[in-house]
Amino acid sequence: MKASVIVFPGSNCDRDIQVALANSMGGPVEMVWHGQTEMAQTDLIVLPGGFSYGDYLRCGAMSARSPIMREVVARAQQGVAVLGICNGFQILLEAGLLPGALLLNAGRNFVCRDINIRVENSQTQFTSRYEQGQILRIPVAHHDGQYFADPDTLAELQAGDRIAFRYCGSAGDESANPNGSIDDIAGIFNDRRTVLGLMPHPERAADPLHGGTDGRGLLDSLVSALS
Amino acid sequence: MRNEPNITPAQVAEHGLSEAEYQTILNVLGREPNLTELGIFSVMWSEHCSYKSSKFWLKTLPTEAPWVICGPGENAGVVDIGDGKAAIFKMESHNHPSFIEPYQGAATGVGGILRDVFTMGARPIANMNALRFGAPEDAKTRHLVAGVVAGVGGYGNCVGVPTVGGEVNFDAAYNGNILVNAMTVGLADADKIFYSAAAGIGNPVVYVGSKTGRDGIHGATMASAEFDDATEEKRPTVQVGDPFTEKLLIEACLELMGTDAIVAIQDMGAAGLTCSSVEMADKGGVGLDLDIDKVPQRETGMTPYEVMLSESQERMLMVLRPGSEDAAKAIFDKWQLDFAVVGRVTDTGRFIGRNNGAVVFDIPVRPLVDESPEYERPWVKTSAPAPLAAVTAPMDHMAALQIMLAGPDLSSRRWVWEQYDNSVMADTVRKPGGDAAIVRIHGSNRGLAITTDCTPRYCLADPHQGGAQAVAEVWRNLTAVGARPLAITDCLNFGNPERPETMGQLVGCIQGMGEACIALDFPVVSGNVSLYNETHGQAILPTPAIGGIGVLDDLEKHADLALRRTDDQIILIGETKGHLGQTIYLRQLLQRQDGPPPPVELAVERHNGDFVRGLIAAGTVDTCHDLSDGGLLVAAAEMAMAGDIGLDLNGPDDPGFWFGEDQGRYLLSVPATLVDAILQQAEKRQVPAQIIGRTGGETLTLNTCEPISLSRLRRSHEAWLPDYMNSN
């Protein structure tokens, strides 16, 4: 399996996902500079978290117009797996690879917290290592993570089993939805389920020293599907 | 030299220079300065840059140890952490700007301290901050808390360096002058440290980063004066931060540092281009010629005075090896940052600026630095506090605990630290909320523990004890997670040093700190002094904020404060005399602030700490909390809340026992099977140790008091700060 992580100016979780993926894959991960217009053959493209272009203008808006993104969109259309985490999710929306928008958190502040998400569809190359309905504990860290979609889009996502993860509570946890996302949505697929965008950071829950390894299943799922 | 009007006494005063200082300038130059030169002298000789009031005393602090690679004097301190790696760290104040414009003041404070660290070749791996605000009732406090926290987060989160901990205090003494102290820790290869001494006659001097604008002109002078009613008008002297550019600058500099192009490098912080050039030239014993018109400028029509004194952010100055300019420029072009050759290293020993060929300043470097004033300001020793008057418990201990945990001093700071990204870089092992944060040394199984601490009310009552306590508490915080304490950085925040009483506080604190540093083998490797923290003559509490780091050789063996098991025994390490002077208990429940602070017995501190660290390193103890603000019962409740496991505690019915703030103490939670062995070891080592309780259940129980459910305790503990911030 070959995996490529796109590095935008201001990406700051690029190394984190590189390390986590390399651990899951047992091999190196290619880093691709945003200014390139071509990319070697790859089985997985990751748009990492961070603050590409400082979140100036609108989160992900400028990165979605980076030279490399033409190639990313073309590969996605060919069916190559694309994963966008946090800022990467924002870029996928701005690039039109996923529907909807991510707004300022309902609480109006940046929020960094370990939260619970429920696996809503375990029948995908991103989630096969999880049980349907399994609850994962994974950190979020974002300022603009409130997912929003118009009613038609939302109905489409729901009907097509395209909601990948929902924020959910556990006993004693009163703040299940950290950002006010519509329908508690934490991550969504495209219609072919080859593109996943999510706000939580699986790469920060991929090592026992992180305090949990619930994020590793997502990466391991990709490795088993794409190797 | 361009002809300019003569300097008037009013201009000298406006630049914060005394008549005697101006006379020295005349002697150094052998003529009158022009306005640009006056500006250069004024910022170089400001309190902020010259340490003129504190230098004499700072020299008394211990700065050496076998593991210290670089002590104070460079951009940050450097310590050897083993395996060929070095930790580079420093804490710095950004108090005055943050009071005027809290978001940008705090944000640029974070940006400045990050640059101090990556300038030396380190990738920043953790941020901390120590914040002190006025009383919650003060009309401005809520606005300042909101702005500062958002600013700290806004900058650090965007740059992608985790903010892993810090402190937040409230006290009316900070009503007119908050404290924003930011600390950065970076990681470098021990043999790839970059310094600031310019060298190589003829070598190019290169400017990189953001363009220079008119922002922040005279920031260093502002930071060296008291506040008054006109302070709000100083808003234009607060710089504006651009964390995105900082992130690019970090990556570009680290990429360039991977080559052999850099001879010397220095960030442009306080006093901007002036201070960075002069320091580089002085350290290298060389001269520097600058072409001011070549400096990338954001605005048109800037005068040499403005360019030299601007404190625009995200800028660096470097001396490169000749011939390496093109390769270096390619890196900065890739990161879309300005890159300009703005001067040359010379053998003249002079700092010369030209604008379109005309000389606009010409100052000998050595005297500009060496002749800077140094004052042995008069000081009076703070008189010893009166003995503590009798204390009668106003209520039962559990009721007292509930009030304390739900008040401004001891309530949860979650509302603050959830706005900071604490897990980016994916190496955070222990997040905010514990005694010290732990970050993994990337790619290894070793870690760095990091903490900041200071108890200003102790420092006010007895500066000497307070200074020692701040250092000891930092050492204890690191010990409580199992780390071997290595070194500290200090951020000395005080009032006007021209008042002998204030100067006496500074002297007392430094003396106490120095004693503690020696006794604990815990040298000062970097720091910053912030004086004139007062408004209308009302000084802040003396606040020598201390940041410390320690190393963990095996991350599998560290301790955390959260209870992990039921049926553990709780062991109290250290002697409890029941010291109530200057405690939170007195302050919050009896509205009293009398008596001496708890004495710090440094030999005992070290003895007890070494014992606890040994237990953690041996893998015997994994749950530990140091005792500080609020005393034993507060610490025990924090352990129970963090682990969501109840506690049954027993002991004398004496507020001093449960709420006294005696130093050098720890609580351990230990499986019953290990208790005897630990108690025997303690006895052999003559470390006081006693069992005070047992874990289990869902309540906190103390003697015969009515038990409290943990969930209720946690609710009120967590609620205070968000409720306060959301109320009007």
User: Over the stretch B514-561, which tens digit does the pLDDT of each residue have?
Assistant: 999 999 999 999 999 999 999 888 899 999 999 999 999 999 999 999
The percent of residues above 90 in pLDDT, for chain B, comes to 91
> Exposed, middle or buried: residue B155 (CB in 10 Å: 0-12, 13-18, 19+)?
buried
d(CA B342, CA A54): 28
Q: Go through chain B and tell me how many residues it has.
A: 728
Nearest to A51 among B244, B417, B428 (CB): B244
User: What is the tens place of the pLDDT at every residue in B87-108?
Assistant: 999 999 999 999 999 999 999 9
pLDDT of residue B237: 64
Q: What is the ipTM of this complex?
A: 0.96
Check residue B170 and give its pLDDT.
98
Q: Does B421 touch chain A (CB under 8 A)?
A: yes
Predicted pLDDT of residue B222: 56
pLDDT at B68: 98
Q: Is B96 a catalytic residue?
A: no
SS3 of chain A:
CCEEEEECCCECCHHHHHHHHHHHHCCCCEEEECCCCCCCCCCEEEECCECHHHHCCCCCCCHHHCHHHHHHHHHHHHCCEEEEECHHHHHHHHCCCCCCEEECCCCCCCEEEEEEEEECCCCCCCCCCCCCCCEEEEEEEECCCEEECCHHHHHHHHHCCCEEEEEECCCCCCCCCCCCCHHHEEEEECCCCCEEEECCCHHHCCEHHHCECCCHHHHHHHHHHHC
Interface test with B, best of A52, A87, A112, A138 (most B CBs within 10 A): A112
**Active site annotation includes B607:** no
Fold of A3-226: Rossmann fold (3.40.50)
pTM: 0.96
Distance, in Å, from the CA atom of B19 to the CA atom of B17, rounded to the nearest integer, reads 7
Catalytic residue of the set A13, A59, A86, A168: A86
**What SS3 state is found at B313?**
coil
pLDDT of residue B673: 97
Cα–Cα–Cα angle for A86, B420, B109, nearest 5°?
A: 120
Average pLDDT over residues B620-648: 98
pLDDT the model gives residue B216: 73
Calculate mean pLDDT across residues B136-157: 97
Mean pLDDT in residue range B5-15? 88
Best residue in B418, B442, B445, B556 to probe A by mutation, most A CBs within 10 Å? Answer: B418
Q: How confident is the model at residue B49 (pLDDT cuts 50, 70, 90)?
A: confident
Confidence of residue A172 (pLDDT cuts 50, 70, 90): very low
Of A12, A20, A35, the CB nearest to B160: A12
Give the residue among B242, B244, B255 at the shortest CA–CA distance from B333. Answer: B255
B271 confidence band (pLDDT: 50, 70, 90): confident
B123-133, strands of its sheet edge to edge: B68-70, B77-82, B85-93, B179-189, B123-133, B163-170
> What's the average model confidence in pLDDT over A44-53?
98
What's residue B48's pLDDT?
85
Q: Check B158 against A20: CB less than 8 A apart.
A: no
Task: Output the average pLDDT for chain B.
Answer: 95
* pLDDT, average across residues A30-42: 97
Q: What is the pLDDT of residue B452?
A: 98
| Mean pLDDT within B601-610 | 98
The more confidently predicted of residues B472 and A174 is: B472
Interchain contact, B247 vs A141, CB within 8 Å: no
At B554, the amino acid letter reads D
**Mean pLDDT along residues B640-663:** 97
Residue B670: its pLDDT value, please? 98
Cα(B9)–Cα(B24) distance, rounded to whole angstroms? 14
Note the residue count of chain A.
227
> Distance (Å, rounded) from C-alpha B190 to C-alpha B607?
31
Whole-angstrom Cα distance, residue B184 to residue A17? 23
**Predicted local distance difference test score (pLDDT) of residue B236:** 60
Token duo for residue A172: 């004693």
Question: Residue B514 in contact with residue B61, Cβ under 8 Å?
Answer: yes
B247 CB near a chain A CB, below 8 Å?
yes
Domain extents for chain A?
3-226
Contact A110 B425 (CB under 8 A): no
